[in-house]
Amino acid sequence: MNNFSFSTVPNIISETGAAKNLGTHIRSRFPQAKRVMVVTDPGFLRTGRVDLAELSLKQSQLKVLVYSDVVADPPEAVVLGAVEFARMNEVDMIIGLGGGSSMDVAKLIAVLAPGTQAISQIYGIGNVTGTRLPLVQIPTTAGTGSEVTNIAIVTTGETTKMGVVAPQLYADLAILDAELTLGLPPLVTAATGIDAMVHAIEAYTSKHKKNPLSDSLARQALGMLSANLTKACENGRDLAARQAMLLGACLAGQAFSNAPVAAVHALAYPIGGIFHVPHGLSNALVLPHVLRFNMESAAPMYAELAGIVAPHVAGTDEARAEALVVAMQHIATMTGIETTLQQVGIGETDLDRLADDAMLQTRLLGNNPRELTRADAYGIYRSAL
Ligand SMILES: NC(=O)c1ccc[n+]([C@@H]2O[C@H](COP(=O)([O-])OP(=O)(O)OC[C@H]3O[C@@H](n4cnc5c(N)ncnc54)[C@H](O)[C@@H]3O)[C@@H](O)[C@H]2O)c1
Ligand SMILES: [Fe+2]
């Protein structure tokens, strides 16, 4: 076994209804907090659930400042605006309450608001110096796992994204409350849920940092996600399925934060960047094709995962690995999300640009179980058309 290290957030509460009692949770764990900034976006604000959390915080004598200007795939200007808001209001604690976009912005506020570093200085791995404000993350999508990862992703140009990776981005506390995800539309539930499944699959086959802890988390996550994703899509009010999805996404987040994702994400990023396809859907579109490409290096590992997702299938490693791919395609088809690049407006003439951009994702491609050339990337996009 290789040497490894493993890090995650120190506290996780998995409790349906926890957000209604947020004030009590925050008071008991952060007695110093006085002025709390809640970071969210207009879409989640419209569900009315921010009001309930705000009310609970106020009942616990906390001053609450709601910042709801986050947008999906947050651009740098949005992050800087939020940091300015935090400074002007002298907040002493940050709560991310939303999907991956809101939680990523919350991480960056917590780091940048009290410090002296410019955002340009912290892109990359391990460039954050100093401490941050207390940080609590509350996901409202069951997908990114951002509540337990040490990474924040920012849109820096027209189509480019950059990551901040640093131990300071691990929150102090993550709260998983399925009531917050009840309003998530079926197609968003599907795409974000498949993103979480991809985190588990890619962590399990991550080339350099795969380890027994991330493996256990990935397996457990995949079991919970595959058993509950179609249930949560078919009946969005199934609280048990929703809570299982949140926990599955959280476990997958812990796995890939330590055993990073690879070519599925590398090929998905340009689809999101250039064509503004949501992150989870971008992943779902290339997933089966990347898995088939990886087969010659990863079939035994995929066969192990097939034992979780398609346990009835027997046979060789290759046959069971193929069953994993088919099972993932079946889940995507059942949920009704798009399954081809053409359905999201991508044509043959776009493939060169996608392949060029995918090859820039060297950090992710280095984790892939099979080496991938530009010609391979082009071929994968072609088969996904
Ligand atoms: N930090 C990480 O570890 C990590 C990992 C993967 C992706 N990401 C980033 O996360 C972002 C994607 O996050 P996401 O997929 O969670 O989506 P998101 O946060 O961008 O939200 C997508 C949409 O869903 C809406 N929404 C969220 N929760 C809702 C709810 N409960 N009810 C109704 N509507 C709701 C939002 O208003 C928004 O319109 C991207 O920026 C991606 O790069 C981060
Ligand atoms: Fe992802």
Residues within 6 Å of ligand 1 by CB: 41, 43-44, 47, 72-73, 98-102, 104, 140-141, 143-146, 149, 151-153, 180-181, 183-184, 188, 192, 279-280
Query: Which residue has the CA at smallest separation from atom 21 of ligand 1?
Result: 99
In this predicted model, what pLDDT tens digit does every residue of 247-273 receive, in sequence order? 999 999 999 999 999 999 999 999 998
Asked whether the predicted pLDDT for residue 351 surpasses 90, the reply is yes
Mean pLDDT of 26-37: 97
Altogether, the residues listed in the chain come to a count of 385
Which of these CATH numbers, 3.40.50.1970, 3.20.20.70, 3.40.190.10, 3.30.465.10, describes 12-181? 3.40.50.1970
Coil vs helix vs strand at 294: helix
Cα 341 to ligand 1 centre (Å): 21
* Residue with CA nearest ligand 1 atom 6: 144
Contact assessment for residue 139 and residue 177, using Cβ atoms and an 8 Å cutoff: no
Task: Convert the pLDDT of each residue in 282-314 to its tens digit.
Answer: 999 999 999 999 999 999 999 999 999 999 999
Residue 159: the pLDDT is 75
Tell me the ligand closest to 149's alpha carbon: 1
Q: Is the pLDDT of residue 30 over 90?
A: yes
Q: Alpha-carbon dihedral of residues 229, 230, 236, 238, nearest 10 degrees?
A: -80
| pLDDT(76) > 80 | yes
CATH class of 186-384: mainly alpha
* pLDDT tens-place string over residues 232-252: 999 999 999 999 999 999 999
Measured in Å, residue 61 CA sits from the centre of ligand 2 at 37
Q: Whose CA is nearest to atom 38 of ligand 1?
A: 43
Check: pTM over 0.85? Answer yes or no: yes
| All residues at 6 or more sequence positions from 330 whose CB lies less than 8 Å from its CB, including other chains | none
What radius of gyration, in Å, describes the C-alpha atoms of the chain? 20
Q: Compute the distance from residue 255 Cα to the ligand 2 centre, in Å.
A: 12
What is the overall mean pLDDT for the chain? 96
> pLDDT tens digit string along 143-194?
999 999 999 999 988 777 889 999 999 999 999 999 999 999 999 999 999 9
Domain ranges of the chain: 12-181, 186-384
Judge whether residue 66 has pLDDT over 90.
Answer: yes
Taking the centre of ligand 2 as the mean of its atom positions, its distance from the CA of residue 17, in whole angstroms, is: 26
Instruction: Tell me the pLDDT tens digit for each residue of 95-107.
Output: 999 999 999 999 9
